[in-house]
Amino acid sequence: MSETVLPAAQQIFLDPMIWGVVIVAAFYGVFLGAMPGLTATMGVALFVPMTFWLEPLPALAAIVTMVACAIFAGDIPTTLMRIPGTPASAAYADDAYLLAQRGEAPTALGIMLWFSVTGGLFGALVLMLLGNQLARCASWFSVAEYFWLYLMGISCAVIVGGSSVARSLLGLLIGLLFSTVGLSAVHGQARFVFGQPELFQGISFIPAMIGLFGLSEVLRGSLGLDRSLTAPTAAVQARSLLGPALSLFPTRILAWMRSSTLGALIGILPGAGADIASWVSAAVSKRRSRTPEQYGKGSTECLADASAANSASLAGAWIPALVFGIPGDSVTAIVIGVLYMKNLKPGPEIFETQGVLVFSLYLIFILANLVLLPVGMLAIRTGGLIMRIPRRVLLPVIVLLCIVGAYAVGGSLFDVWLMFGFGLLGLACERWKISIGALVLGMILGGPLEERFVQTLAGGDGSLWAFVDRPVAAGLALVCLLVWLSVAVSAHRSSRLLAAGDSEV
Amino acid sequence: MILRRKLAVPPSRPPQVRWLSRSWIGNSFVSVALGLLLFALGCSAEREFPNQPISLICPWSAGGGTDRVARQVAAQLESELGVPVNVINAIGGSGVTGHTRGAVARADGYTLTMITVELSMLHWRGLTSVTHEDFAPLQLLNRDPAALFVRKDSVFQSLDDLQAAIDSAAASGKKLKASGTAYGGIWHIATAGWLDRRGLAPDAVNWVSINGAGPSIQELLAGGIDFLCCSLPEADAVLDAQVRCLGVMSDERISGFEDVPTFQEQAHDWSIAGWRGIAAPRETPPERLQVLGDALARVTATESFRDFMAAAGFDISLEAPAEFAQTLQRQDRLFGDILTSEALRGVSGEHFGPLMFPTIVAIGLVVVLVVVSIELWREQAVMIGETSPAGAVEAAAGDGAEPAGSAGAQNRFGYPVAVAVAVIFYIVASEPLGFVTTAMVMLAGLLCAFRVRLPVALSVAVLTALVTYQVFGLLLRVPLPRGFLEW
C-alpha cells in the first residue's frame, strides 16, 4: 500500500500544476453549476478538447473538481431562484427555496456547502478503502435488479413528496407518462409525437424542470407582486455562513454517514447517479426523521442528507468506469474517452498497472472537496447579491435565464416552448398541490424504468418470474414491497389524524 | 417612481439598488460603454465557413465505442477548423433518432453525423425512411468485425460448444439469452445471421434489447445473459479478465487481438462487420463539403488519431468521400439481402408492444386522479367558512401586505400574462432578430410591464442581454440564435 500512497501524495500535493488546475476548475465548475440548464456533464464535455494539452493526472483532476463543484453550485440558483442548477438539486428544491424565502438563504446554502464537502470527502474515503471490492457489487446487477432499483427510486418521490400520498403519486404518474413520449428505446417506434420531429427524442427533462420550478415560480411571484411590499430580505452577508451548518453537524453524524454511504453505493451502479442518490437519501432521511412533517417545507435535515449523498455519489461513479470500462454516469462516460485518449486502458488490471494513478485519483477527490469549501463560500456570497435586487427587476431577468437555460440543452426553440408549457403546468400543480418533484423524477426515471421492464420481460420470454428469479432481484423486490407497505400504513395513519383534526374544527 | 417608493421601505437601502436608481444620464453612459465593449468582444469572429460551433450527432450513448471515436474526431476537428465541435448523443430507437436528426438537419455544414452500419439496416426493417442517399459521405473511419463473448467461468470453450448449447436449450423450450445492442441492431443481425448459416432458427436465441455494448457487458457480467455479441474493442476492458472471446466474425485475425481465433478458423463460414463514418446532410453546399472533407482527411492522417484508434483497439479503415459512397451502396445491398431473406424476416418484430408501458401508467393515472379528486372535494368542503381558497396559492403574500390599489387589483393577472407574452415574443422573434436584440426588447418590455422606471428598465435590459450573450454564447458555446445581424 505505502509504495503507492507516498508517490501518489507527492504527485498530487506537491505539484503546483495540479493545484492550479484544481483551483481554475473549481471556479469553472461553480460557475457552470450555477447557470441553469448547464449540467456538469455539459461542462465536462466542453472541457474535453482542453485535455489534449494536459497530462493525464491534471486532466482527471480538472474533471473531478469541476463536477464536485458544479453539483454543489447547482444548489445556489435552486435556493435563490428555485431553478435547480443541475438535476441533482431537484429533490430538495422546495426545502431550499422556502428556507430562502424565510430569509434563511445563508443558513441553507451553508448547510448544503458543508454537507456537500463532507459528503464528498466521505465518498472518497469509502472508495479508497473499499473501491476494489465494491466494484464487484455492480456486477450483480442485471436488468431485473435495475428494474427494482428504479422502481424504488420513483417510490422515493412518493415518500419525500408533500402532504398527500395520492398527489405525489399523481405527479409521478404524470411524469412517467411524459417520459413515454418519443421513440421508445427498446422498440424504436414513435409514440405520442403528433408529427413533431422534435418530439422523436422525447421531452428533454431539463427544459421541463426549468419550466416546472423556475418559470412557474416567476408566474406565481408576479401574481403577488403588488401585494408583497418587502422583498424577502435575506442577510446573506450574515456573520457566519457555516455557523448553523457546524452546529447541525455534530447532531447528525450518523445521518451523515448513512447518507454518504448510500450516495457512494448508488454512485457505483452504472445508470444511477447524483440525482437518484439525493432522492433516495432524502426519502430515507424522512423515514428516519423525528420531524417528517417538515420535509418539503424547509427542512434543514433534508438539505443536509441529500447534499451529502449527491456529492458522495460522484466518486462512486468512477469505480465501474475504471474497473469495467462501463460508465457509472454521463460524466464518467466522457472520462473513459479521456482515459483512452491518454492511452490508459480501463479494466480490472488498472489497480495493479496504474496503482499510483488510481490512488492519486482518490486524493484528487479529497483535494477537490477541500478546495470547494472556500470557492463555494465565495460563490454563495456572490450569489447572495441576487437577493438584494428588487423583485420587479429580478423576475424579468429570471425569465430570460429560464429561456436561455432551456435553449442551452439542445439548441432548439422547441425546448423553450416546452419550458413555457411546463411553466404553466407547474402553476397548475402548485394550485392543486401536486408534487412537482415527483413529476420531474418520473420524467427522469420513466425511460430507464420502462426499458428494464421490457428487457426483463423479453429476457424471461414473457414470464413475470423473470423479475424475481434471481436472489438479488428477489431481495430488492422484497425491500420495494416493504417500502410501499410502510408508505401505505403511514398514509392511512395520517389520513385518520387529518380526519380527527377535522372533527375538532 | 413606483420602484423608488417600494425601495424606500427597507430601512437601509442596499448599495446595489442605489446604483440602479442613479441618474438617467449616468446609467445610459455606463450601459452604452459596457455595451460597446462587449460588442467588440462578441464580433471578433471572421465570417468565413466555418465560423459557428459545429454539432456532431452521435446516434449511440455516451461512453460506447462510437461515442469515443466521435469525441476523438470532434476534439481534433475542433483544432483543425478553429471552431468548437460538440458531440450530441441523440440516442434511442436502435439508431433511428440520431440518423434521422442528422439527415433532416439544416444542410449548412454545421451539423455532421457519425453514421454507423445501422444506416444500411434501419430502412430495410421499415423503421425509418432515411437511407445513405440522404447523406453526403465525408470520411469512413473504421470497421469492426462482430465477435462472440462468454463469461470467463462459462463452460463454452468454442463456437461448436455454444452452437450445441443453443440448439439443445431451444429444443427444451428454455432459450439461451444474448445481447449486445438493441433488437434488430447490427450485433443482433450478426448473431442471427450466424445461427441461420449454421442451420438454426434466427430466433433460437432470446435477444434482450439493451441499448449499447457497455450496458450489455454489464448484463453479461451480472449473469443476465448467456453470451454477448459486440466488437472486440467494445469489450476490450474486460477481455481475458472477465470475459472470453469465442471468435471474431472476420476472415483474418485482427491486429491488436492476435490471440482471438476467427470464425473461419473454426470452420464457421460467416463474417460481418460494423463500420463508422462521418457524413453531412445531402444538400450541403459542395464547397463546404470540400472544407469538411479536407479537414477530416487531415485529422485522420495525424499521428494522434492513429495512436488513439490503435490504443482503443479500433480497426482503422479510411476511405475518402467517393470511395465511401461506393462502400455505402455495397453495404446497403448486402444488408438488404440479409434482412429481406425469408429466415431473418422473423426478427423484425418485438413481443412487448410500445404501448404496453404507457397503458399501465395511464390506468394508474386514472385511478389516482379519482382519489385526488375525492381528496380535493373533501378539502373544499372543510374549507367552506374557514378561508377563501383563492388566497392559498400565494406564498409570496408577505406579512406587510399592502392593501392593493385599484390599479393593482386590475393588474394582478396582468403580470403573469406579460411574462407569457414575453416568452412567446422571444420564441417568435429570436430567429429573425438574433439573440441580443430580442433579449433586450423582451426584457425592456417586461420590466416596463412590471412598472420599473424606464431608464432603469433600459439599462437592466441592455446589460443583462449582453452579459447573458457573453456568458452563454461565447464562454459556454451555446449556439444562440444569430438573426440577420449575426448577433
pLDDT, one tens digit per residue, over A281-291 is 988 888 888 88
B350 touches chain A (CB under 8 A): yes
Alpha carbon dihedral B129, B134, B140, B146, in 10-degree steps, equals 0
Per-residue pLDDT band at B35 (split at 50, 70, 90)? low
Give the residue on B whose Cα is nearest the Cα of A409: B478
Read off the pLDDT of residues A322-360 as tens digits, 9 standing for 90 and up: 877 777 676 777 787 777 767 777 776 777 777 788 888
Phi first, then psi: what are they for B223, rounded to 5°? Answer: 80, 10
Asked if A343 lies within 8 A of B307 by C-beta distance, the reply is: yes
SS3 content of chain B, % helix, strand, coil (to 5): 55, 15, 35
What's the pLDDT at A54?
79
Q: Is A434 on the interface with B (CB under 8 A)?
A: yes
**Residue of higher predicted confidence among B313 and B264:** B264
Count CB atoms within 10 A of the CB of residue B284.
22
More confident residue, A63 or A337: A63
A411 within 8 A of B478, measured Cβ to Cβ: yes
Banded model confidence at residue A10, pLDDT cuts 50, 70, 90: confident
CB atoms within 10 A of CB B143: 20
Q: What average pLDDT does the structure give for chain B?
A: 81
Q: List pLDDT tens digits, range B314-331.
A: 888 899 999 999 999 999
Number of alpha helices (DSSP H) and beta strands (DSSP E) in chain A: 23, 2
Which of A139, A173, A197 faces B361 most closely, judged by CB atoms?
A173
Q: How confident is the model at residue B36 (pLDDT cuts 50, 70, 90)?
A: low
What mean pLDDT is reported for chain A?
Answer: 82
**Residues within 8 A of A (CB atoms), B 202-241 only:** 206-211, 214-215, 217-219, 221-225, 236-238, 241
The count of other CB atoms within 10 Å of the CB of residue B267 is 8
Locate B10 and state its grid cell.
427597507
In this model, does residue B407 exceed pLDDT 80?
no
- ipTM greater than cut 0.85: no
* Element (DSSP H or E) covering residue A372: helix A355-384
- Dump pLDDT digits (tens) for B203-260: 888 888 887 787 888 889 888 899 999 998 888 888 888 899 999 999 889 888 889 9
Could you tell me if A170 lies within 8 Å of chain B, comparing CB atoms? yes
Question: Going by C-beta distance under 8 Å and a sequence separation of 6 or more, which residues neighbour residue A7?
Answer: A356
* B468 Cβ contact partners less than 8 Å away, ≥ 6 residues apart: A400, A401, A404, B439
Pick from A270-274, A355-359, B142-146, B207-211: least confident: A270-274
CA B76, CA B168: separation in Å to the nearest integer?
50
Interatomic CA distance for residues A418 and A196, integer angstroms: 13
State yes or no: pLDDT of A468 exceeds 80: yes
Q: Residue A110: which region, alpha, beta or left (left: phi > 0; alpha: psi -120 to 50)?
A: alpha
pLDDT confidence tier of residue B14, bands split at 50, 70 and 90: very low
Q: State how far the alpha carbon of B475 is from the alpha carbons of A338, A376, B71, in Å.
A: 22, 21, 20
Chain centre to alpha carbon of residue A202: 21
Q: B264 by DSSP, 3-state: which?
A: helix
Distance CA A427, CA B393 (A): 9
Of A169, A320, A330, the CB nearest to B62: A330
Predicted pLDDT of residue B289:
95
Contact A187 B55 (CB under 8 A): no
Task: Give the count of beta carbons closer than 10 Å to the beta carbon of residue A374.
Answer: 11
* Beta-bridge partner residues of B93: none
The larger pLDDT score, comparing residue A43 to residue A489, is at: A489
Of A202, A343, A399, the CB nearest to B419: A399
d(CA B93, CA B183): 9
The reply to whether B369 touches chain A by the CB within 8 Å rule is: yes
- Find chain B residues with C-beta within 8 A of A197's C-beta: 100-101, 104
Taking the Cβ of residue A462 and every Cβ of chain B, the question of whether any pair is shorter than 8 Å is answered with yes
Cα–Cα distance for residue pair B133/B174, rounded to 1 Å = 42
Chain A nearest-CA distance from B255, in A, is 17
Contact call for residues B65 and B231 (beta carbons, < 8 A): yes
Which strand (E) or helix (H) includes residue B67?
A: helix B65-81
Provide CB contacts within 8 A for B108, sequence distance 6+: B284, B285, B288
Q: Decide the pairing of beta strands B111-116 and B54-58.
A: parallel
d(C-alpha A48, C-alpha B77), whole Å: 13
> Which residues of chain B are within 8 Å of residue A224 when distances are taken between CB atoms?
394, 396-397
With vertex at residue B311, the alpha carbon angle to CA B308 and CA B315, rounded to the nearest 5 degrees, is 85
Q: For residue range A103-158, list pLDDT tens digits in order.
A: 888 889 999 999 999 999 998 888 888 777 776 776 778 888 889 988 988 888 78
Cell numbers for A1: 500500500
Question: Nearest by CB to A455, which of B209, B222, B443?
Answer: B209
Cα separation, A220 vs B453, in Å, equals: 22
Q: Residue B88 pairs with which residues in a beta bridge?
A: B57
**CB–CB of A202 and B419 under 8 A?**
no
Half-sphere exposure of A446 (CA within 13 A, CB side): 29
B106 near A CB under 8 A: no
pLDDT band per the 50, 70, 90 thresholds, residue B406: very low
User: Are A45 and B17 in contact (CB < 8 Å)?
Assistant: no
C-alpha–C-alpha distance, residues B385 and A344, integer Å = 71
Percentage of chain B surpassing pLDDT 70? 79
Structure confidence by residue, pLDDT tens digits, A202-246: 787 788 888 998 898 888 888 877 665 444 444 445 557 788 888
| C-alpha cell of residue B31 | 450601459
Distance of CA A249 to the CA centre of its chain: 21
How close is the nearest chain B Cα to the Cα of A446, in Å? 10
Alpha-helical runs (H) found in B150-239 = 159-171, 186-197, 213-221
Secondary-structure percent of chain A, ordered helix, strand, coil, rounded to 5: 80, 0, 20
Residues 160-179 of B with CB under 8 A from A: 175, 177
Q: Greater confidence, B47 or A353?
A: A353
How far is it, in rounded angstroms, from Cα A258 to Cα A261?
A: 5
Yes or no: say if A330 and A41 are a contact pair by the CB < 8 Å rule.
yes
